[in-house]
Amino acid sequence: MSATGTLLFLLLWAVLLAGALSIVVSTLRTGAPPMPSPPRVRRALLAMLPRDLTGTVLELGAGWGDLAFPLADRCPQARVIAYERSWLPFLFMRLRMRFFPRANLTLRRQDFFRASFQDASCVLCYLSRGHMTRLAPRFAAELPEGALILSHTFSLRGWTPARTVRLDDLYRTPVYLYVVPPREQAR
């Protein structure tokens, strides 16, 4: 192998190692790895959304964008904001956006715990139980009445889902749909 070939080989390995290390560090810091939603789960989540959904739709922990892009397509009248904190999946989404742009999709490399939920008409998430526990009071306090919350796998403790779908897969994956009730009602 030539010196140039060896250098390219080492550079490629360094990039791959740095990418893998960034995912590990991000997972340790946030407590959640960037896990893609299986196609069957994506279809179930999207099917639970009204076709005429408008306003601001937030995807918390967008990962590689496997839900953000179909979500933007499914809800063309909505403004979709996808939050991802891990830089490698975020860069992948940016690259994907460069080649397959969506006018109604905004990507943010930001901790969604620092985001405002006040104007959201819908929130989608595939997060850990701990994250959902932390988010439940924020959803109750900030989301407007009637806003939708869709969660893949993890429920909101203390909330009653308006609808639950159990997929016919190996894990019998649950998908939960919540509707934010009027403020005076208990959850």
Per-residue pLDDT for 25 more than 70?
no
Distance CA 76, CA 84 (A): 21
- Which pLDDT value is given to residue 2? 80
Query: Taking the CA atoms of the chain, what radius of gyration do you get in angstroms?
Result: 18
Per-residue pLDDT for 32 more than 80?
no
The pTM is what? 0.82
Q: Which two tokens stand for residue 166?
A: 């159990």
Query: Which string of DSSP letters, residue by residue, matches 87-126?
Result: HHHHHHHHHHHHHS--TTEEEE-S-GGGS--TTEEEEEE-
End-to-end CA distance of the chain: 66
- Which pLDDT value is given to residue 171? 80
Distance CA 178, CA 147 (A): 8
71: exposed, middle or buried (Cβ count in 10 Å: 0-12, 13-18, 19+): buried
What is the per-residue pLDDT across 78-134, written as a single tens digit (0 to 9) for each?
999 999 999 999 999 999 999 999 999 999 999 999 999 999 999 999 999 999 999
Domain ranges of the chain: 1-30, 39-179
Count of all residues that appear for the chain in the document: 187
Question: Of 10-24, 49-63, 115-129, 136-150, which range is least confident?
Answer: 10-24
What is the per-residue pLDDT across 34-49, written as a single tens digit (0 to 9) for each?
566 788 999 999 999 9
28: exposed, middle or buried (Cβ count in 10 Å: 0-12, 13-18, 19+): exposed
Distance CA 25, CA 43 (A): 30
Name the superfamily (CATH) of residues 39-179.
Answer: Vaccinia Virus protein VP39 (3.40.50.150)
If one compares 96 and 30, the residue with the highest pLDDT of the two is 96
If one compares 17 and 48, the residue with the highest pLDDT of the two is 48
Could you tell me the CA-to-CA distances from 135 to 56, 139, 152, 179 in Å, in that order? 18, 6, 14, 15
